C-alpha cells in the first residue's frame, strides 16, 4: 500500500467531516490531524465558514402572505 499524504487524506474527508458523515474512527483521525496542522486547519475554517455563508446567502424568510396562501390550500372539512 502506498502511504497517503495526511493532508491529502484530510482534504478528502473534510467535506464528509463537515457533513457529520464520517465514522467515529475517521472523525477522530481527522480531528487529530487538524489539531496539529495549520495548513489544513486554515482550510477547514474556510470551508466551514463558506458552508455557513452559502446557507445565509440564499435563505430569506418566507413571506407571511405565502404562509397564509399555503394555509388556505387545506381541504374543506
Partner 1 sequence: MSETSSDGARRLAEGARDRVNFEEEALALADQVYRVARGFSRSKEEAEDLMQETYARAFRSWQSFTPGTNLRAWLLRILTNLNIDRGRRAQRTPDQQPLEESDYFLYNQLEAASGETEEQRVLDRLSQDNVAEALAAVPHDFRDVVVLVDIGDFSYADAAQILDIPIGTVMSRLHRGRRILKKELADLAVESA
Please, which of residues 49-68 interact with partner 1 by CB under 8 A?
Answer: 49-51, 53-63, 66-67
Compose the 28-47 pattern: x for residues touching partner 1 by CB under 8 A, - for all others. --------------xx-xxx
Contact of 18 with 48, CB cutoff 8 Å: yes
Q: Would you count residue 23 as binding partner 1 (CB under 8 A)?
A: no
Q: Long-range contacts: 27-36, Cβ < 8 Å, 24+?
A: 33/6, 33/7, 33/9, 34/10
Contact of 22 with 30, CB cutoff 8 Å: yes
- List contacts with partner 1 (CB under 8 A): 11-12, 14-16, 19-21, 42-43, 45-47, 49-51, 53-63, 66-67, 69-71, 73-75, 77
Amino acid at each position: 500500500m502506498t502511504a497517503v499524504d495526511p493532508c491529502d487524506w484530510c482534504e478528502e474527508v473534510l467535506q464528509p467531516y463537515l457533513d457529520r458523515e464520517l465514522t467515529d474512527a475517521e472523525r477522530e483521525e481527522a480531528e487529530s490531524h487538524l489539531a496539529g496542522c495549520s495548513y489544513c486547519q486554515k482550510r477547514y475554517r474556510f470551508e466551514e465558514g463558506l458552508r455557513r455563508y452559502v446557507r445565509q446567502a440564499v435563505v430569506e424568510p418566507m413571506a407571511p402572505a405565502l404562509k397564509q396562501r399555503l394555509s388556505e390550500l387545506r381541504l374543506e372539512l
